[in-house]
Structure formats: C-alpha cells, structure tokens
Amino acid sequence: MSGSPSSPADIDVAMPARAATNPQTRIAVVDIGSNSVRLVVYEGLTRAAATVHNEKTICSIGRDLGATGMLHKDGVELALEALRRFRLLTDRLGVALREAVATAAARDASNGTEFVRRAEAAWGAPVRVLSGSEEAKLAGEGVIAAIPDADGLAADLGGGSLDMVTLKAGRTGEAASLPFGPLRLMAQSRGDLDKMRDMIDTALERSPAIQAMNYRTLYAVGGIWRSVARVDMLREEYPLHMLQHYTIPHERALQLSTVLAKQGRKSLELLTAVSKRRMELLPYGAVVLQRLLLAAKFKEVVVSANGVREGLLFSRLSQEERAKDPLLEFTSIENQTHSRSPAHALEMFHWASPLFADENAELRRLRLAVSYLSDVGWRRHPDHRARGTYADVLNMPFAGADHRARAFIATAIFHRYSGDGEMPSDLHVPGLLDKQDQLRALRIGLAARVAFDLSASAAGELGHYRLRMTPTKVLLEVPKRRSVIADDTVGKRMGALGEVMDRKPEILVVSG
C-alpha cells in the first residue's frame, strides 16, 4: 500500500487544523496548455485543499506549431475567451491569489509573446511562461503531492511537449523537455509512424535519466495518458473507477500502447472510454508511451491525476505543510466536518490500539484514517448506511493511498457500520485485498463498532472502559458504576470481535 510519507515511522496523531474555507484564502490556478486551458480554484494553501471549482476548455492553440511555428489562430481566440470567462468566475469566487502559467505552445511559438500579452489582459493578472525544465519539475511536484514516496520518472505529456523529471525521496531531480506532444507530432510526422518512432527513440537514447529507470515506476501525467488508462480499465473490467494511482504492469501497458498506436479514427470511435476530443490525439500519445516503455524497462505505469496545477499549489506550501501526510490531513478534515464528535476519532484510535500491537507504520496510518472516517456516515438512513458510506469512502478524493489502501479503508468502514463478517459479493473489489488484508479490515471495523456502542460517539466516554488482549482473550473492563453500559448489544459486539481476533471475549466489571 503505497503513498505514505517518506518517513512514516512516527505518525502525528494530533488533530490537524481545519482547512481553510474562507473565500479570502482561495487560490486560482490557470494552466494554458497546447491543447487545453484549465482553471482550478483551491480553497487555500493547505496540504489537503479541496477544489472549489474546476473546468477546462479545449482550444488546441498548439495545433499548427509543428507545421508553421505559430499558434493556431482560432485556438488563440478560444483561449482568450476562456480566460475572460475564468476572470469573471474568479472575481465572483473572491479568490485571494491568482496564478497563471503557459507551457510548450506559448513558449515555442513565434507569436507566443504576443499571445501571452493578450492572455494577461484577458486574465487580468500575469501569465508566467514556464521553461521545459520548470514544467517538468512542477508536474513532478504534483505527483509527489499525491504520492509522497514516488520513486521513478514523472512524464507529463501535454499537447506540445513531453516533460520528464526523476523522483526520489519526495524530491524532483533531473528534468528534460522533448517536443513530442501529440499536436506537434501530428504536424511533424504527418501520420508516418516509423518517422515518429525514430524521432522519439533517438531523443530518449540520449537521456541518461531514462537509462536509470529500469525496474522503477513511470508516473504518467496528462489527459492523453489518462485516456489510455481508461481503455485499460475497460479491457480489464476494473471495478474501481479511480484514475489516481491506477497501476498498469509494464508488459500490459506496452501491449496496450502498441495496439492503440495502430488504431484509426473509426476503430477509436468504438472505445467508449475515450472522449471524442481525445480520439485524434490518442494514437500519438500511445506511440510516446510505447517508446518510453521500450527505452527503459519500467516496473509499472502509475497514473497521476495530479500535474502542473497541483504542483504549483504544492510548491507554494511551507516545508511544514508539505511534510504532512495527505491521507491523514484529508480524513481528519472529513472527521471534523462530518462527525458528531470529532474528538472521538482519536480517542477510539488509541483505545483500540492494544488489539493491533503487531501493526507496522503503514497499517497504523491506515487504521488512523479509518478512525477519522468512522462516523462520517451517521446522517445516512440506517438501511443504506453501510453500503452508502463504503461507496463514499472508496471514491473520496484523498491522496497518499494506492487502490489497495483505498479498498482497505473503505472495507473497514463497511464492517464498522454493518457488523457483517463478509463483504457482499457486489461490493467486493477483486484483486486488491488479500485474505490477511480483509481480516485486518474486519477486525478494525468490529472494534470501532464496539467503541460506538459504548460511547454513542460522545467525546471522553471511551476513557472509562479499557480494552486489552491476552494470548487467549479479548477483555473489556467496565467500571462497576457504569456496568449498565455492558448490555446485550455490547455483549454481542464483543462476541463478534473476539471471534475475528481468535480469542474468547470477556467483559469484566471492575471496581470504580
């Protein structure tokens, strides 16, 4: 289960500060790419800032760049219109900070400087033209923001360029930018696949960073490669529709990219996973992926939904904020926002810890995330609480967790609400959790169930009852003056918990 901070041994279980919700802290980021112009408004400069607004316009300003060296005239007008719209929206949203960057097309076009001047007038704020190296590093920062332990190569395929940067130990390293965006390849190769492959291979052979990537991970950034991942999900009948951290083994990714590189428009139209706007560019993006996978034997391809925009936000954070665990920050905020008594989550985490003395740092942080999310479904109708909250958690937009970890957290939450010993077959996500994972998630969920029966989620209640484990028993100590709390329901819950812990349950009434 990847995605944990680079040094997870000591997890800070102090309650993080609530994320900013004041409009005066909002940050607007505009990314003017070769193919699209996108606006994202974040709620503030925090590790787990929510997205207030997100939209894009396909403009293809870089469509003519490979043939004419200039930006596409109609695309430029569309981009300026989008920027004027974005300015109006952000004015109404009351953002405190505006950030805008332009990438390969504006950087390389002969009329790029004029376009940027007009873009700044339309947007009402400066537009920073990124160098290829800056673009690559910001994309890498975006990957690290979501996958703190990323180790390999972040490759951001935009419409005009392929921007790459090495990643290790939470830092970006050597960066490179190559003119192999699909829009530019279309013009340069004129559909000649052999010419395209030769151009890409020659450039990749000169990159020492590529040669050092054997058996490491390729982090794929950009809309074209997300489309490739959607096709893979469809072919594999993958049950979890979550692109962030979707993983494709090397050989399967190579086979898929080879197939997609050969497809014509009519064949691509049969792929329901690909938007019509991406179809024309998909084969070109597939060729680039194929050549990358042949240039270095990457262990796997991991999709990153984060990129330059998230990297910009992440780069503005303080070192203290950057070092925070994105999963725990997000789940803590959910706890504070949606739980009946937010303080109860940490109390329950510590109260149940004697049952999990064998857990490592990664399992401990996942159990803490479960604790933070254990009461977020209380407003749901009881008949739909277990299933509905499971679905909510499984699809939450948190970072710092791969799909296995995501399924683990959601499964524990299901058991916390349902009390069932097995997951219903229609909810089970096959291939993600092994039997040991499933058992541990069940144990965490049933322990939480006992905790809520004892406390009704009220803060300060669990401290009256001690939970401990011996080699043969799971023991719940209840003070005599509070013995009425240990009713039949608590007894049944302890029975279920003892069974999955392979121990005899016992409730002890003690003095006090």
Please write the tens of the pLDDT for every residue from 135-150: 999 999 999 999 999 9
Structure confidence at residue 250 as a pLDDT band (50, 70, 90): very high
> For residue 281, what pLDDT is reported?
83
Give the sign of the dihedral formed by CA 495, CA 500, CA 503, CA 508. Answer: negative
> For residue 263, what pLDDT is reported?
76
Q: Is the pLDDT of residue 304 over 90?
A: yes
> For residue 408, what pLDDT is reported?
97
Radius of gyration in angstroms for the set of CA atoms belonging to the chain, rounded to a whole number? 26
Structure confidence at residue 72 as a pLDDT band (50, 70, 90): very high
Cα 325 from Cα 399, distance rounded (Å) = 9
Residues 351, 479, 342: CA angle, nearest 5 degrees:
35
Average pLDDT, the chain: 91
**DSSP assigned state of 285:** H
Q: Look at the block and give the residue holding tokens 């994309």.
A: 139
Q: What are the start-end ranges of the E strands in 235-358?
A: 247-249, 300-304
Per-residue buried b or exposed e for 15-47, using 16+ beta carbons within 10 Å of the residue's own CB: ebeebbeeeebbbbbbbbbbbbbbbbbbbbbbb
Say what the pTM is: 0.91
SS (H, E, C) 162-216: EEEEEEECCEEEEEEEECCCHHHHHHHHCCCHHHHHHHHHHHHHCCHHHHCCCCC
In this structure, the number of other CB atoms found within 10 A of the CB of residue 438 comes to 19
- Residues in CB range of 379: below 8 A, 6 or more apart: 338
> For residue 248, what pLDDT is reported?
97
Query: Percent of the chain, pLDDT > 90?
Result: 78
> For residue 214, what pLDDT is reported?
82
Residue closest to 459 by CA, chosen among 363, 357, 351: 351
Q: Is the pLDDT of residue 14 over 60?
A: no
| Mean pLDDT, rounded, for 227-255 | 94
> For residue 274, what pLDDT is reported?
66
Q: Is the pLDDT of residue 324 over 50?
A: yes
Structure confidence at residue 414 as a pLDDT band (50, 70, 90): very high
Cα 220 from Cα 304, distance rounded (Å) = 6
Can you list the domains of the chain with their CATH numbers? Answer: 23-129 (3.30.420.40), 133-310 (3.30.420.150), 326-510 (1.10.3210.10)
> For residue 317, what pLDDT is reported?
94
Please name every residue paired with 230 in a beta bridge, in sequence order, or none if there are none. none
Structure confidence at residue 20 as a pLDDT band (50, 70, 90): very low
> For residue 65, what pLDDT is reported?
87
Structure confidence at residue 17 as a pLDDT band (50, 70, 90): very low
Structure confidence at residue 186 as a pLDDT band (50, 70, 90): confident
Cα 303 from Cα 292, distance rounded (Å) = 15
Inter-CA distances, 103 with 162, 167, 283, 359, 493, Å:
11, 21, 22, 45, 58
The per-residue pLDDT for range 84-100, each reduced to its tens digit, is 999 999 999 999 999 99
Q: Is the pLDDT of residue 267 over 90?
A: no
| Tokens coding 112 | 């790029």
